[in-house]
Amino acid sequence: MFFDGLDELDQKILELLIQNARISYSDIGEKIGLSRVAVRTRVQALEQKGIIEEYTTIINPQKISGAVSCYFEIELSPDTLMEAAAILKQNDTITQIYRVTGKSKLHVHAVASSNEEMEKLMYQTIDKLPGLRECTCNMIFSRIKDIKGLRL
């Protein structure tokens, strides 16, 4: 499974942090039978190994008035795919870029403050990408399920 190489205590720590990343080391220790210091040491080791990448606040753009969220499927010529990805990566409206299987495709998520800002992204950035073959855009109306990172 995903946690081969992690002992049972590290797995329990990760489960608790996934449920609540703000849980204290003391509270984790109480739940799994370790001291606060031992928990801190284990969490720091998980961070140093890159197993825990970050702690963050996730903002739901659909709860902000006027925000527009879209997914793009962008087909590019193979020789320009990485150049196009580098251009997209520099745009603050774009939140995620994935290289996916298929005809040299990028899967891109963008969140704009308005329809006008999203249209600007499309016309001034996406439509001008080198090697652009095709682009489809899907606007997100509502979030039904959205899991961040790995779930146990």
Helix segments in the chain, DSSP class H: 8-19, 25-32, 36-48, 81-89, 115-124
**Architecture field, domain 61-139:** 2-Layer Sandwich (3.30)
Which pLDDT score, from 0 to 100, does residue 87 have?
Answer: 97
Name which of 147, 127, 128 is nearest 58 in CA terms: 147
What pLDDT is attached to residue 142? 82
CA distance 92 to 125: 11
* Residues in the chain where the model's pLDDT stays below 50: 1
Task: Give the pLDDT score at 121.
Answer: 97
**What was the pLDDT predicted at 88?**
98
pLDDT the model gives residue 10 = 93
CA distance 145 to 39: 31
pLDDT computed for residue 1 by the predictor: 45
Q: Say which CATH topology domain 8-48 has.
A: Arc Repressor Mutant, subunit A (1.10.10)
Domain boundaries, the chain: 8-48, 61-139
Q: Residue 147: what pLDDT? A: 72
Q: Report helix angle 8-19 to 36-48, nearest 10.
A: 90
